[in-house]
Structure 1
């Protein structure tokens, strides 16, 4: 499904009105009816009948006015708390506010301290609250009046339905500058917004429902919209299906270059991730002194002991062996646990520069690239980079905080600049392509915040490439399956979950998708 920025959504609304002749009031009516329906569904469980609607002065507030009218017509006791001056209302919002006045609904214009006291009383008696304060119109810091309204709603302990996006969450970035509504459910219109999937905004949205408000489908499916969310149906259509006569040679060959003294676990997890996600053959290239250890740790993975330097790490002597492994493999994964010794880092850069077949670049190989990121422009191979925010900061020169403020933009720009696929890991992983297309992932959980899960992800992506997926499709499907495996593993408890638990759950994650095909 496409994901629209606030500007794109405004452009769509304008086209609906100008090119299709559908009045803005019709869109507002449809939006309000859908949001009201969500309120009724929520209250049907408890039998509650009192609703408090917090509205601002813009179109989001107008949606709230429609919600209020609809609920009142259906027998609910509705209190409208207006956080703007009545004189500031205009357009469709004013039209629907006037309807409420003529209906005699209870409207509280919050202007002074006593009004806030009245609003507090209304909230205390309500069974459900509706957030129609700001919507996608927030940029920067919300006003003091809005902050007070948000805090009042959040402190009430009552379930909140957010209209389009929780107030206080920036629609395009998911940033929360000061405070934001903590919704039980968000009803968003036409297309979802990036801030519903990017943290911290995603944590405020609750259950997200995308509803149809009558926008023509061709506008919602426009190729000009470059953001997408990944669904189970999308991934199901991408995953490789095995032929009845499949054998290990036909299911893909993955070469892994990983591991160093004290970091053999990274090599194991990356290789296991590749095997567990379906690769027919996985071969691990390592420093010769590590071979006895890894032959004990790994049963199904073949190991290749290579010449090492005096420190027991891969270096210049191992580059020809790296090249040979790459030519014998459908894809090469390089980086997990390789170490940051200067000779190792130089060898990594030389290998990447000379590579001709697909690459997955992770961990210490990303550190090597940070010295000369332009190598990516020189290699024939299409690379998938899998940085976490700290590695992304190292590669871009930005701070982790700057990256977290606009993950979508940073990942997209990096993919364009580096002519590579960028998988910016974290809560709500972003997959960005060199043509500007981006995908926002929705699977995964906090239990995955443990060492080694990124190594497993790199292995999954490499495995999917080896099995015939394009690097683009493998990155999207790999991220989704990785998060889904984490969700399955978390059924036994998130605290104490390990990367090994996640790797074990990969077959179940894939089966849960393909069994419905």
Structure 2
């Protein structure tokens, strides 16, 4: 699902109205019909009770008044509350106001802040509140009477459906600029907006439905999306049945450079994620002392025992055999459980720069570049980096919370500077690549806050690279598949305590449910 800032939606409106000759009032009527239909589908019981429609002075308010009229025509009893003098209503909103009386829709103007307590009582008794106050064009925190009404709506506990976006959110920013309405349902118009799905604002939006209002595809095609939401419909396109004659060499061959004394489990989990993602051949390159543990932990994976340091981590002597083994595989994964010994970190940096294949890098493979992040721009093959905010913060010199707050600018900028696909993990994982809109993953949740999940993700992404996906698609599909498998496994268990291995084992079930025949 493509995501567009409010300024882009306004441009689509302009193209449709000014260049394609579609009257703006027609678009508003289309929007109201779509909203009315969605309400009848989503909350039919609530529409039979008391419906309060809160309208501002702009087009969002015009949409609300048109919906009230259409609900009245269908036998419901909406009441409109205007937060503006009717004489100050703009354009099409004024037209919709003039149609309220002939349609028999009762309305009133909220007479300043002193009228808010009385409105609060009505809100508490409403079965449905339709929020059509502010729309997407808010440039800062809601103020004045609008802010008072937003607060009253939230305090009332009423069920709220918002038109386009919950009032108080901005259509041009992911974080709320101030207090915003907490909606249970958001009916967004024409194009999906980033704040409806971004973790900063999504909890305020409830269930989101995207409604068509008749803007031609030719107008939308001229826009550049800000990003894309990775949902089930998006992921489904990647899962195709294999040819009957497929053999394991066709399914992708990969090398996973991982593990050390005391961290062999990270290598096992990475390999398990790769195999459960359908990789045909998986070889784990680990210190010789860890090789028996890896082999016992996952007999389906092959192993490559390598020279090690006295601490049981890979030594620099492992460089030549790893590079030689690259001739036998399609992709490489590196990082889980490698350890932080200086010699092993030096090895990781050399491998990063010299491996000629697509390579997914995580954990200690990234930590090796702390203090030298500029070296991440030098690599012989395509790279996918999969840091969590702490690892990313160590690379760029920020605290983890700064990384989270700045991620929509930080991730694309670093992806461009390093010429990599960057998968910044966390709730609603963000994926960025040079010259491309960022992607926001909608799967996964707090049940993934446990050890080993990043190792499984490294295996998944490496398997997808070995299958031939681009770095951006491998990172994006890997993030979605990883989260969807965790969601499925958690649902089966019915609570927290999910193991990373259980997430890996649910990967085939997710694929099977989505595979296109």
Q: What TM-score results when the alignment is normalised by the length of structure 1?
A: 0.93
From the superposition, tell whether residues 402 and 146 of structure 1 become closer, same or farther in structure 2 (CA, over 3 Å): farther
* 1:49 alignment partner, SS class: coil
Runs of 4+ aligned residues of structure 1 deviating over 6 Å after TM superposition are none
- Is 2:147–2:179's contact at 8 Å kept on the other side of the alignment? yes
Structure 2 unmatched runs, 5+: none
Matched residue, 1:98: 98
Matched residue, 1:508: 509
State the distance in 1 between where 2:172 and 2:267 align.
Answer: 37
Matched residue, 1:477: 477
State the distance in 1 between where 2:42 and 2:355 align.
Answer: 56
Matched residue, 1:459: 459
- Is 1:2–1:221's contact at 8 Å kept on the other side of the alignment? no
State the distance in 2 between where 1:352 and 1:97 align.
Answer: 64
For residue 271 of structure 1, report the CA deviation from its aligned partner. 1.1
State the distance in 1 between where 2:468 and 2:442 align.
Answer: 24
Matched residue, 1:212: 212
- Is 1:430–1:438's contact at 8 Å kept on the other side of the alignment? yes
Matched residue, 1:420: 420
Instruction: Please list, as runs of the form range in 1=range in 2, the aligned pairs for 1:340-355 lying within 5 A after superposition.
Output: 340-355=340-355
State the distance in 2 between where 1:110 and 1:261 align.
Answer: 70
- Is 1:173–1:405's contact at 8 Å kept on the other side of the alignment? no
Deviates more, 1:170-179 or 1:503-512: 170-179
From the superposition, tell whether residues 8 and 276 of structure 1 become closer, same or farther in structure 2 (CA, over 3 Å): same
Matched residue, 2:432: 432
- Is 1:274–1:282's contact at 8 Å kept on the other side of the alignment? yes
Answering whether residue 238 of structure 2 is matched by residue 238 of structure 1, we say yes
Q: Deviations over 1:166-217 (max 9, x none)?
A: 2233334431244322222211111111111110322222221111101011
From the superposition, tell whether residues 351 and 10 of structure 1 become closer, same or farther in structure 2 (CA, over 3 Å): same
Matched residue, 2:497: 496
Answering whether residue 24 of structure 2 is matched by residue 24 of structure 1, we say yes
Deviates more, 1:318-327 or 1:484-493: 318-327
Structure 1 unmatched runs, 5+: none
For residue 306 of structure 1, report the CA deviation from its aligned partner. 1.2
Deviates more, 1:35-44 or 1:58-67: 35-44
- Is 2:128–2:158's contact at 8 Å kept on the other side of the alignment? yes
Deviates more, 1:169-178 or 1:131-140: 169-178
State the distance in 2 between where 1:147 and 1:88 align.
Answer: 19
Instruction: Please list, as runs of the form range in 1=range in 2, the aligned pairs for 1:76-91 lying within 5 A after superposition.
Output: 76-91=76-91
* 1:155 alignment partner, SS class: helix
State the distance in 2 between where 1:223 and 1:54 align.
Answer: 31
- Is 1:266–1:455's contact at 8 Å kept on the other side of the alignment? yes
Instruction: Please list, as runs of the form range in 1=range in 2, the aligned pairs for 1:238-317 lying within 5 A after superposition.
Output: 238-239=238-239, 241-317=241-317
State the distance in 2 between where 1:298 and 1:215 align.
Answer: 54
- Is 1:109–1:115's contact at 8 Å kept on the other side of the alignment? no
- Is 1:43–1:49's contact at 8 Å kept on the other side of the alignment? no
Answering whether residue 321 of structure 2 is matched by residue 321 of structure 1, we say yes
From the superposition, tell whether residues 403 and 147 of structure 1 become closer, same or farther in structure 2 (CA, over 3 Å): farther
State the distance in 2 between where 1:27 and 1:396 align.
Answer: 46
* 2:21 alignment partner, SS class: coil
State the distance in 1 between where 2:387 and 2:497 align.
Answer: 24
- Is 2:274–2:459's contact at 8 Å kept on the other side of the alignment? yes
State the distance in 2 between where 1:438 and 1:162 align.
Answer: 26
Q: What TM-score results when the alignment is normalised by the length of structure 2?
A: 0.93
Matched residue, 2:159: 159
State the distance in 1 between where 2:260 and 2:180 align.
Answer: 45
From the superposition, tell whether residues 199 and 513 of structure 1 become closer, same or farther in structure 2 (CA, over 3 Å): same
State the distance in 1 between where 2:47 and 2:30 align.
Answer: 25
For residue 362 of structure 1, report the CA deviation from its aligned partner. 0.9
State the distance in 2 between where 1:283 and 1:275 align.
Answer: 10
Aligned length: 516
